[in-house]
Amino acid sequence: MKFTEEHEWLRVEGDLIVVGITEHASEQLGDIVFVDLPDADTEVAKDDEVVVIESVKAASDILAPLDGTIVEVNDVLGDNPSLVNEDPTGDGWFFKMKIEDMSALDDLMDEAAYKDFIG
């Protein structure tokens, strides 16, 4: 897994990148009550606002971690946004994207660097 300073995780699955928020982020947000996901086949640029999540504490934007195309979204979150709290790095993922350049992942933090970042 790779991590961003915005507390997103990225996992490579074949030729796709799965994106969600870290356990640390989900704990900081508190109980998530709403997730607004983008449409599939949406072109995004790094740092575009692509997901809005609302918790009992605040609303937050999730940014595109890389340039690419969102090819699938986790529709289950519409009916069950609490999955983001229950399993942030598993069933609580937000979207899958296709990127042009997989080497862009090299610029992101690995797990050890992320733990130092939040520590």
**Residue 89 has what pLDDT?**
95
Q: Cα separation of 48 and 97, whole Å?
A: 13
Question: The domain 2-101: what is its CATH number?
Answer: 2.40.50.100
**Residue 79 has what pLDDT?**
94
**Residue 97 has what pLDDT?**
98
Inter-residue contact 73 to 38 (CB < 8 Å):
yes
**Residue 71 has what pLDDT?**
98
* Kind plus residue range of the DSSP H or E element containing 118: helix 111-118
**Residue 17 has what pLDDT?**
97
Q: Cα separation of 110 and 48, whole Å?
A: 22
Report DSSP state, residue 37: P
Q: What burial class does residue 23 get, using C-beta atoms within 10 Å of its C-beta: 0-12 exposed, 13-18 middle, 19+ buried?
A: middle
**Residue 103 has what pLDDT?**
94
Q: pTM for the whole thing?
A: 0.94
Q: Cα separation of 39 and 48, whole Å?
A: 14
- Mean pLDDT by groups of 10 residues along the chain of 119 residues: 96 96 94 96 96 93 96 96 96 96 94 96
